[in-house]
Amino acid sequence: MPREKKIRRLNRTIVKITMLGYSAVLVILFLLDCYMIQAHQEKLKAAKWELLNDYTEQVKNSIDKVDQLMYDIYANDKNFQALQKEQSSAKEYSTVYDLREKLRTRLIIQDYLSSFYIFYGNGEKCWYGTQDKYSDFVYSQEVKNMLAQYQANASQGKSWSTVRSGETISLFVCYKKGGVAVIGVYTLPELGGQIERSTGIKAQVCMVQNGDVLNGKKQAEQIRLLSKIMAEETMLEEIKPDYQVFGRKISNMDFWICTIYSIKWWQTATIQQLLLLLLTLFSVVAVFLLFQFMRRQVVQPLRQLTDAMNRIRNGETREVPEIGGSFQEFTEVRQTLEKMVRELEEQKNLTYEEIIEKQKAQMQYLQLQLKPHFYLNGLKTVNALAMAHEDEKIQELVLNLSEHLRYLLRAEQETVPLSRELAFVENYIGLQKHVTGRPVTSEITVDPEVEDWQIPILSVQTFVENSIKYARLGDARCPLEIQITASYLKTEEGDYLDLVVQDNGQGYSDAILEEINGDSASGTFCVGINNIKRRCGFLYGDKAEYLFENNEGAVSELILPRGGKTT
């Protein structure tokens, strides 16, 4: 008897692996804490402070120089003053060009100026220059856009702030007078690399401006850096078992530069590192074995599952292959995917069937428009009137017939305004008087609220045509009376249009009533009415309602909701 395959649960396995990994880290940290040498830590701390102080002083001196340069432009430069006045385009171009060249010379000579920006013309125009290492077009444009927004809202005189593009943070000084502003930018040099090169320790550098952490937010939140800064005035130092943080505030600016060090085993250069190395090697082996296990049991099955889904999406297959691995979750995912594919195929087939049905209804609608005998009778009537020299009647008949044809050729329209459909019906009744000679009277009543409602094309004319073709009154001299009523209905479900077409003929036969009052939109007796029911089904779903009965003649009622496709 084959051995029953053991079912493994992915969530349980992940918990076990996670606990094992955390346990290994805890052991490493415990050993590190036990063998840490206080003297070495003090030496490292002194080196960290020295690096931070030097960096802070460099930033302070550089931003002061940028400030002095921008102030000199603001207070003494004639080109800056000239830009505040109205000038011709050529003169303005010359002025800003001279100012830019002056700043560009400083940019080349002085390394403290990273870039400069000149905004003029009420801040809508800008010239700028950057050092080669900051000349990336995307970077320059991004910084320019941020500075343009800043200077537009800046007050007159001096202001300063920071701008960030990606991982690059820059301090800038803005001097604004009228609609002209000059901005000097000092891009902060990379401090983390300097610390790592000097001490061999990686550090997270956090810049804080006005209580806002500009970078390293995750670690800053973990150690609650902002609350620590608020409790200090110019310096911050905190030594914890798992981290160290040092901070300096740049004088005259609410700007802090902080370094956060996570305590790791390679920070101590003692003999205890040998023990940690052995433990690390053991962990590497364990991680390798863990990787092999995860690759076979998780990565490969997931890849197989992804490939299967891609092939299904690309239409290459509709079969879900077997998925490797021994986790029950993968089996359940495969079964679910297989069921979804099957249901999607069924839904697609239903959609195709609906499209085919709609195309059939459209084709039937087009066929209903083509009635050769009607047009032949019209031409015969024209001929008869011509022989009788009835010129006015010929003109009236031709106009009615052309209007009739023009309306029927709107094959691309599914819906038309009710007023247009009723105008077509009146024209159609007038045609019938000429072609058949049968006396027909019509009475049309329409609520003003529904005159412009969209209804399926030929939805009223079809019922009128049925009355003219099939209503029998016994005496040919008796006029056929057709009443058309369009009423506005307001219900809890929404607004509806109630269309009623009634004649004084003999009414529908029992067989026809049974067919057109049924749920089916197909039949053999009333092709036109069944076509309308099908088209209303596509346009309104099950919200459209129908009622056909006899009440001193045939009564056809169509209730449609507001909406549907518009033309």
SS (H, E, C) 176-237: EECCEEEEEEEECCCHHHHHHHHHCCCCEEEEEECCEECCCHHHHHHCCHHHHHHCCCCEEE
Distance CA 30, CA 34 (A): 6
Asked whether residue 506 is domain-assigned, the answer is yes
Backbone angles phi, psi at 34, to 5 degrees: -65, -35
- State the pLDDT at residue 143: 82
For residue 531, what are its two tokens?
């076509």
The answer to whether the CB of 247 falls within 8 A of the CB of 229 is yes
Q: Is residue 473 part of a domain?
A: yes
Residue 370, pLDDT score: 44
Torsion sign across C-alpha atoms 80, 81, 83, 87:
negative
**DSSP 8-class letter at 327:** B
Whether 219 is covered by a domain: the verdict is no
E strand residue ranges, 392-479: 415-417, 440-446, 454-456
Is the residue at 490 inside a domain?
Answer: yes
pLDDT of residue 180: 92
The predicted pLDDT at position 522 comes to: 56
Both tokens of 279, joined, read 């433990």
Task: Check which CATH number belongs to the domain holding 496 and give it.
Answer: 3.30.565.10
Angle at 562 between CA 557 and CA 565, to 5 degrees: 105
List 213's β-bridge partners, or say none: 208
| Residue span of the structural domain in which 472 resides | 410-561
Buried b / exposed e along 479-494 (16+ C-beta atoms within 10 A) = ebbbbbebebbeeeee
Total tally of structural domains belonging to the chain? 1
**Nearest in space to 444 (alpha carbons), one of 469, 480, 481:** 481
Per the CB < 8 A criterion, the answer to whether 297 and 326 are in contact is yes
Is residue 487 assigned to a domain?
yes
Please give the pLDDT value at position 119: 93
CB 188 within 8 A of CB 58: no
d(CA 544, CA 535): 10
Per-residue pLDDT tens, the chain, 567 aa: give them: 455 556 565 545 654 676 577 566 656 655 555 544 566 677 888 888 898 899 999 999 999 999 999 999 999 999 999 988 888 888 989 999 999 999 998 888 888 888 899 999 888 888 888 887 666 655 677 888 888 888 888 888 988 888 887 778 889 999 999 889 999 999 888 888 888 888 778 888 999 988 888 888 888 888 898 888 888 888 999 888 788 899 999 888 889 999 888 865 455 455 655 565 666 556 655 555 655 666 677 667 767 777 777 777 776 677 777 776 677 777 777 777 777 777 777 777 676 666 655 555 554 454 444 455 555 566 666 666 667 666 676 777 777 777 777 777 665 677 889 898 898 888 888 877 777 777 888 899 999 999 889 988 888 888 888 888 777 766 666 788 889 999 999 888 889 999 999 988 888 888 888 888 876 555 556 777 887 888 788 788 888 888 889 888 889 899 999 875 444
Closest CA to 205 of 185, 191, 218, 224: 191
Strand, helix or coil for residue 545: strand
- Which two three-digit tokens encode residue 135? 């000349």
Other C-beta atoms within 10 Å of 356: how many?
10
Report residue 275 as tokens. Answer: 């023990």
Q: Which pLDDT score, from 0 to 100, does residue 176 have?
A: 92
Q: pTM score, two decimals?
A: 0.43
Residue 384 lies in a domain: no
CA atoms within 13 Å, Cβ hemisphere of 409: 6
Tell which phi-psi region holds residue 500, choosing left (phi > 0), alpha (psi between -120 and 50) or beta.
beta
Instruction: Tally the residues of the chain.
Output: 567
| Residue whose C-alpha is closest to residue 173's, from 70, 62, 100, 56 | 70
Residue 423 inside a domain? The answer is yes
What distance in Å separates the CA atoms of residue 481 and residue 429, rounded to the nearest whole number? 11
Decide if 420 is inside a domain: yes
Nearest CA among 185, 182, 184 for reference residue 119:
182
